[in-house]
Amino acid sequence: MDSGWVAAIASIASAVIVAITAIAAFRQLRHYQNANDIVVYLRLIDQMDSPAMLEARANIAAISEKVAADPVYRESLKSAGFTPDEFRSIGMLLRFLEHLAVLVTKGGIAEELILAEYADIFVDMWDKMHVAIVQRRFAFGPYTGRAFEHLAMRSRRYIESGRMAREYARLERDPRTAG
């Protein structure tokens, strides 16, 4: 066998090794992304299930009713200086959801993870709080709550498209045993 053939075989072998290495590297990057998503997701669950956030979520309905029923209170929300005690916990929750929405929008965490767990909660929260959030935009600027609004609308489309129902139906058909 002459040296030309040996060089050709060596080049092909090198190309195969480089291709296999590249595939392995891409799989490893995907694995790292999945691990990152899991870490962020677990922190999200811890935060959403914390006593402060559960209290805020419980207060949303009462505040929503107050905003709808009391025009003076609703109008007062336009003022940056107006921060009623009952609104503080909800404000903390909404700020957290703003940050989460930016993470999802910018690809910092997989949207599917967040929507599968919280889409219905986000839609419910938006439906109850959108009037108050719009009022707060007068006080804090036109972008107040916009990221959460976007996430809530993505959540609504996720639910209405049937994707959420299909995800949960797939869980019901899971052939693995629970024990």
**176 vs 60: CA distance, rounded Å:** 38
Residue-range domain boundaries for the chain: 50-172
The per-residue pLDDT string of the chain (179 residues; one tens digit each, 9 = 90 and over) reads 677 788 888 888 888 888 888 888 778 877 777 777 788 788 888 888 899 888 888 889 888 999 999 999 999 999 999 988 878 888 889 899 999 899 888 887 888 888 988 999 999 999 999 999 999 999 999 999 999 999 999 999 999 999 988 888 887 887 776 65
Whole-model pTM: value is 0.76
Among residues 82, 92, 83, 84, the alpha carbon closest in space to that of 55 is found at 92
